[in-house]
Structure 1
């Protein structure tokens, strides 16, 4: 059984400042897939899906979806779906051990490769991915809501395709958009060919809204969902969405290097925060055993540094800001 990288640091005292929501009214759903509810406007438009709980301990996302479902949010055009993905892991969430329920067998956001989905092996997360896959194959626009263990500026991960970048810029919140190709240890949901292939018009993005268990993260997610629905024309005049926040200065960055921890001794030379910018090329930022990790270019953006990464997992992504 694989282990969550978060669960490897039980000695760290992470505070849970939000409460686990009661999503019992939404477990049955209305799509034939547990945890998935769709609301159709009856008017032409895209099928937009907002998903939470791809990781079972990221409870800000289900708080947001629960609020919007209870408020009766319906799309003005097209169809809007809400998904609670890893229900089994969420069922084991314990605020006394909040890092332990990221997943049960394996990371559900690393299995979205057709060869894996069509392959012979099984796990609870992989079986759940197969269960929801037919639904995912009907989605035109996907927003995957996530939060972060370590301190970081909120951002949107767009993937590499231009359609993903355009979607992320249109959402507007968070204002930092990072284009990246994912992780060496598996494909994310936004990397699934329906959203990543240039041969389809469908697009997806992943919102990293802030630290896991903070109310500000919930607020950022609400603003992101509202931005998505306004951008796509699904937000009606009477929708229970928050008003647009003050416009931020949009910034676009592209990952140039994804650093994977190759040893169990990976350590940063200081406590970095996601969003930190290292001014000079060739600055030492970490040691991976005896290997130096240095910035590959000036003004290097640190994307989501994992301050205690497990061997084989992404430690940090290094990105370059795009002009303009």
Structure 2
């Protein structure tokens, strides 16, 4: 099949670059025969966890969190913990003048976790996913660490299962939580692939804040350590840092409804947006050439709008805000 190139805006970034990518070469050789994969085995019975970073190469917060775990020699007290630096090839292309360009080499690595793609890998990202797939499929629980283009609230994204919802509650996550029905959101995202193999397991994406901000790396580390701790696998002597960000009135529960793609190069939002803007049913959200795009339901919330919409690509996810956290 023909895969469209990994697209990005080459416009100057307005994201503060407080942290630059670190050299990962010292961690290339893991202990499982796959580059940049480290399995920490306690030798005792317990869950099999995976924490993945760099699904997108420019989202460095997860890499910083994994580096902290490795450099501080964090070991699970039971079970096993596998740490994955995923798209290192893209990460290594980082250019501070074009900081979004290192997102991927050939295609979005969080859209390819499908049998029809991984049975016949034909891009850098699919070949790498084939290497990583056994660890994802065999894990009891998976945490995938990400960051966002705009400075919006951190969030958890997960399939709407009792196990995920209950785990998020135990995590004490005071930020937005976005839930979706397995099979109705993006096909091919990592946590959906994991959830299909571990129906009773936990499958989470943590969006930790804006790319390259110091607070985002702190948020990623807090989420990762909390994830390990809530599985009963973190030594009690290890201190979990505070969240990198303060909670605000966006905290609550959202149901992901659909993804809007830009149909033409003329897709435009009707106002400057960065995420979590809310619209009543019928309010105009965007235009796409001559097409008017209105909110299809009340409490319609924009999630991760594209910085520069590209024809044929995702422009924004629409989610319905269900209730605030203290209303549940």
Q: Within 5 Å, which residues of 2 pair with 1:164-313?
A: 164-173=164-173, 175-180=175-180, 186-192=187-193, 194-196=194-196, 200-242=199-241, 251-278=252-279, 280-313=280-313
Q: Deviations over 1:12-53 (max 9, x none)?
A: 454421021222221101111111111122222111111101
Residue 6 of structure 2 aligns with which residue? 4
User: Structure 1 residue 201: deviation in Å?
Assistant: 2.2
* C-alpha separation in 1, matches of 2:64 and 2:320: 33
* C-alpha separation in 2, matches of 1:68 and 1:246: 21
The structure-2 alpha-carbon separation of the partners of 1:246 and 1:132, relative to structure 1 and needing over 3 Å to count, comes to closer
* C-alpha separation in 1, matches of 2:156 and 2:106: 27
Q: 2:47–2:80: 8 Å Cα contact kept in structure 1? A: yes
Counterpart secondary structure, 1:108: coil
* C-alpha separation in 2, matches of 1:97 and 1:136: 31
Q: Deviations over 1:162-195 (max 9, x none)?
A: 4333333333335211013589775111121x31
* C-alpha separation in 2, matches of 1:171 and 1:297: 30
Query: Which portions of structure 1, spanning 4 or more consecutive aligned residues, are displaced by more than 6 angstroms?
Result: 182-185, 244-247
User: Structure 1 residue 245: deviation in Å?
Assistant: 8.2
Residue 141 of structure 1 aligns with which residue? 141
Residue 79 of structure 1 aligns with which residue? 80
* C-alpha separation in 1, matches of 2:93 and 2:246: 38
Residue 46 of structure 1 aligns with which residue? 47
- Structure 1, gaps ≥5 residues long: none
Counterpart secondary structure, 1:230: helix
Counterpart secondary structure, 1:110: coil
The structure-2 alpha-carbon separation of the partners of 1:153 and 1:140, relative to structure 1 and needing over 3 Å to count, comes to same
Counterpart secondary structure, 1:77: coil
The structure-2 alpha-carbon separation of the partners of 1:255 and 1:21, relative to structure 1 and needing over 3 Å to count, comes to same
Counterpart secondary structure, 1:322: strand
The structure-2 alpha-carbon separation of the partners of 1:174 and 1:142, relative to structure 1 and needing over 3 Å to count, comes to farther
Q: Within 5 Å, which residues of 2 pair with 1:10-29?
A: 10-29=11-30
Counterpart secondary structure, 2:110: helix
* C-alpha separation in 2, matches of 1:252 and 1:151: 19
The structure-2 alpha-carbon separation of the partners of 1:314 and 1:165, relative to structure 1 and needing over 3 Å to count, comes to farther
* C-alpha separation in 2, matches of 1:146 and 1:183: 21
Counterpart secondary structure, 1:134: helix
The structure-2 alpha-carbon separation of the partners of 1:183 and 1:53, relative to structure 1 and needing over 3 Å to count, comes to farther
Counterpart secondary structure, 1:64: helix
* C-alpha separation in 1, matches of 2:288 and 2:23: 42
User: Structure 1 residue 215: deviation in Å?
Assistant: 0.9
**TM-score normalised to structure 2 length:** 0.89
Q: Deviations over 1:242-283 (max 9, x none)?
A: 2578996862110123212111211111111222223x2211
* C-alpha separation in 1, matches of 2:186 and 2:51: 24
> Which is further off, 307-316 or 23-32?
307-316
**TM-score normalised to structure 1 length:** 0.90
Q: Deviations over 1:137-172 (max 9, x none)?
A: 221110000111133221111134443333333333
Q: Within 5 Å, which residues of 2 pair with 1:27-106?
A: 27-106=28-107
* C-alpha separation in 2, matches of 1:42 and 1:233: 15
Counterpart secondary structure, 1:151: coil
